[in-house]
Amino acid sequence: MSKVVGSLNGISLRIEQRGARAVKGVSDIMQDNAERIRDLAIEYAPVLTGDLEKTIRKNTSYTGINRRAIVEVFIDENGPAGDYARLVHEGLAPFGSGETGRVGGSDPESLSVRKDAGRGVVGGKFLTRAYREFKDKLTRDARRVIERAFR
């Protein structure tokens, strides 16, 4: 709790330890939103064998003396689809450059067996688009937790 304290030695502002609660709350929000971003990226990714979906991963690591959390959602290039996942992410149309093809083309071996991801369109930049969809919510939720911790 923050409060102004008056004494014979003057007036001071005492800020008690609330940072830990704010850090924990923001870390929880990062974890939750990272899982949602990963899940949405999987919905947006094209499916042929299912290996591409397995390369979209979430990982949490901790660094520094205060064990700061780093939450990543990424394409695991060592996963079952490896370089293919990166190429499809960057080059598949719609949304990508189109260099690696198009979703739903006339080719019977089309990259996608999904017609629609429900909330969006299957195609390139699946991880980027999923992040953009949650970016504002992530920021809003983090601010709310920090403000609540210092009330």
Instruction: Confirm whether 100 is domain-assigned.
Output: yes
- The answer as to whether 13 is a domain residue is no
Residue 1 placed within a domain: no
Its pTM stands at 0.75
- Report how many domains make up the chain: 1
Give me the pLDDT at residue 41, please.
93
Full pLDDT tens readout for the chain, 151 residues: 455 555 555 666 656 667 788 888 999 999 999 999 999 999 888 887 888 889 999 999 998 887 888 999 999 988 888 788 888 888 777 666 666 566 555 444 444 444 444 556 788 889 999 999 999 999 999 999 999 988 7
How far is residue 140's CA from residue 125's CA, in Å, rounded to a whole number? 24
Query: Does residue 5 sit within a domain?
Result: no
Residue 91 in contact with residue 98, Cβ under 8 Å? Answer: yes
Residue 10 lies in a domain: no
**What pLDDT score does 98 carry?**
61
Residue ranges making up the domain that contains 67: 18-149
pLDDT (0 to 100) of residue 122: 81
Phi-psi region of 120 (alpha: psi -120 to 50; beta: other; left: phi over 0): beta
Identify whether 57 is part of a domain. Answer: yes
Any domain includes 7? no
Residue 108: inside a domain: yes
45: nearest Cα among 79, 9, 11, 7: 79
Contact 95, 111 (CB under 8 A): no
